[in-house]
Structure 1
Amino acid sequence: MPLSIFGFQALWSPYLIGIIVCLIIVYFLVTVVWRKHFKVSESLKKSEVIYFLIGMITFYIIKGSPVDVTSLILFTMHMVQMVFLLFVLPIFIIMGIPWWIWKLIIEAPVVGKIFKYCTLPVVSVLVFTFTFSIYHIPSVFDTIKTDSTFHGLVTLVLFLSAFFMYWPLVNTVPGQPQMKGLYKIGYIIATAIAITPACAIIVFSKEPLYSTYTDGEMWLKAMALCVPVSTLSNISITISGPELFTNLSPISDQQMGGVLMKIMQEIILGTLLVIVFRQWWRDEHVNEEQITENALKEFQAKKREQQY
């Protein structure tokens, strides 16, 4: 059965397009037109514009295009959606917004204290792992998927936890704590390991875990998250569940989703690991001669002191 049965509004989310266009307009107003009103500012870089626009496009694709509807039919697509929401989008948002705007936000009286604590490396990894794991507990997952308000709040919490997890790795804000190269490498490895148990439970389960992908009534409630109630009520007589849109069995779909989540997450974090390692290696070798020269001078100075 084709996805077009759900209608244009459900498949392409015109309201979200409007919201994203407004966000882009505000972004350019603040970073270009109103920049002179800030005490500290800097001209908008081309790379920042590219990162931000890619972030907005990514956000629309995963939450506004047919990908969103498909994620309610296939657990595999849901996991792909989560990969881009939690492991890709935060990077583009952090790198797309100029440092002076971030500095203004994170140094605000109340926000600053919360931000400082939430972006501590150990805290951020633990919070992200905890949030991600709790979200995928079957009873919690099904409850979230059948309540639009709860779903929106939890999605925001998940995204913020991923944002805080990435901040120590990619932020370039002056005055903010900067992790050294080797610490970043360990941090990335720890993050990859921390979420493995949640993915493993999904992959190695011998039966389907989530009722919103197996029970027709629960599935229809979940579909109401993005399909208008009027449309859903008209087609609910002709559709009974996600099995009408896919040949995958629920358990195969679930296992494929878990495997794909882990593989994609490893690719993303692995790419970051390579970038961080190369940067660390380059920095070490650029300063190698200076470090050796300073060490030699220090050794010679100590030797002269011992002689006298």
Structure 2
Amino acid sequence: MPFCGTPIDGSLWSSWNIPLLAVVLAIGVWYWATWRRWRASGGTGDRSAGVGRKVSFYSGLTLFYLVAASPVDYIGHMYLFSVHMTAMALEYMVVPPLVLLGLPEWMVRSWMQVRGIERLIRVLSRPLFALITLNLLFTAYHFPSVFDFLMSHGSLAVWVHLVMMIAAFINWLPVIQPFAGVKRLSELQKIIYLFADAVLLTPACAFIIFSGGPLYVTYDAMPRLIPSLSIYVDQQLGGIIMKLTQEAAYIGAIVYIFVQWTRKEKERDRQDKKGQLVFFPVDKDGFHGANTW
């Protein structure tokens, strides 16, 4: 079947990862059942917030499967570097915050009771560790020799991507922290953290975009799905997509944090006004009315 002028074999249409689909469906069922049990046990809360969490979680889960276990993944590994980078950008910059936002504190409370988990989460959510881990792995992964080696060893690449996915969730933990009892950053600290995160990824993207020529031998031997798109332009496009996706995700997160921060401050001001003394005017007998807090 032709695709942009280049034949694609049947591998494209057989590249849907069914075992991973089973895992994703199992996670989705667990999430739905956990909400159902919580409601049945008398759980209370803002229903609109619950709907928002569910939409966020299932959106993240669906997006993960579409970019990691569909023909998108096959095309990215076999034909187009830009598609590969698009999948990575969505998988590491968009999926983790969506999933973490979908996890209410009560849902993960039991996890913290497992021996060693709370200590592990405290270590993983330290900003410096979370910042360095993903950005270091991402930079190392895109060294030409490392990239070409991993792309030629598919089973090893799967494990590397799994490690990077875990690192992506760790990278978002200081910003979206559903675990009770773990130290949390202030809104200002979260904004500074995201800014630093964006800066640390810039050198790797700049290296890919401004290399002056193709970096990866992997795509030299592959047929061009889009003849008018050269290997180098495809490479540049991939670097640009990665950087723009990161910027969009982080700017979105900063806006969300700022809005929540503003709401907190308004609520705090409202509570402060309630707590102020209210003096009633002097009555006809010359006494003040009752003061109230």
Provide the secondary structure at the position in 2 that maps to 1:174. coil
Superimposed CA distance per residue, residues 28-60 of structure 1 (whole angstroms, 9 cap, x where no aligned partner): 3344359989xx977893233222211221012
Provide the rounded CA distance (Å) in 2 between the counterparts of 1:188 and 1:294: 36
1:255 is matched with 236
Q: Identity over the aligned pairs, expressed in percent?
A: 29
Residue 137 of structure 1: CA displacement? 1.1
The answer to which of 181-190 and 3-12 deviates more is: 3-12
The correspondence for 1:29, drawn from 29, 33, 37, is 33
The answer to which of 282-291 and 50-59 deviates more is: 282-291
The answer to which of 165-174 and 285-294 deviates more is: 285-294
2:1 aligned with 1:20: no
Provide the rounded CA distance (Å) in 2 between the counterparts of 1:20 and 1:289: 44
* Structure-1-length-normalised TM-score: 0.77
Matches within 5 A, 1:22-101: 22-33=26-37, 45-72=50-77, 73-101=79-107
| 8 Å contact kept, 1:144–1:151 | yes
Q: Quick one: structure 1 residues 146 and 104, their matched pair in 2 at CA, closer, same or farther if it must change by over 3 Å?
A: farther
Superimposed CA distance per residue, residues 77-104 of structure 1 (whole angstroms, 9 cap, x where no aligned partner): 1111011110111112212233233232
Residue-pair matches, total: 269
Return 5+ residue gaps in structure 2 as ranges: 277-293
Provide the rounded CA distance (Å) in 1 between the counterparts of 2:40 and 2:75: 44
Provide the rounded CA distance (Å) in 2 between the counterparts of 1:293 and 1:36: 36
Q: Quick one: structure 1 residues 170 and 201, their matched pair in 2 at CA, closer, same or farther if it must change by over 3 Å?
A: same
Provide the secondary structure at the position in 2 that maps to 1:109. coil
2:219 aligned with 1:213: yes
- After the TM superposition, list the runs of 4 or more consecutive aligned residues in structure 1 that deviate by more than 4 angstroms: 33-37, 40-44, 289-295
What amino acid is aligned across from residue 75 of structure 2 in structure 1?
T
What amino acid is aligned across from residue 67 of structure 2 in structure 1?
I
Provide the rounded CA distance (Å) in 2 between the counterparts of 1:27 and 1:267: 28
Provide the secondary structure at the position in 2 that maps to 1:6. coil
Q: Quick one: structure 1 residues 10 and 63, their matched pair in 2 at CA, closer, same or farther if it must change by over 3 Å?
A: farther
1:178 is matched with 184
The answer to which of 194-203 and 89-98 deviates more is: 89-98
Return 5+ residue gaps in structure 1 as ranges: 217-240, 296-308
Provide the secondary structure at the position in 1 that maps to 2:66. helix
The answer to which of 274-283 and 201-210 deviates more is: 274-283
Q: Quick one: structure 1 residues 144 and 42, their matched pair in 2 at CA, closer, same or farther if it must change by over 3 Å?
A: farther
Provide the secondary structure at the position in 1 that maps to 2:14. helix
What amino acid is aligned across from residue 19 of structure 1 in structure 2?
V
Residue 254 of structure 1: CA displacement? 0.5
Provide the rounded CA distance (Å) in 2 between the counterparts of 1:19 and 1:213: 31
Superimposed CA distance per residue, residues 150-203 of structure 1 (whole angstroms, 9 cap, x where no aligned partner): 112111111111101111211233322221111111111111111101101001
Provide the rounded CA distance (Å) in 2 between the counterparts of 1:99 and 1:210: 43
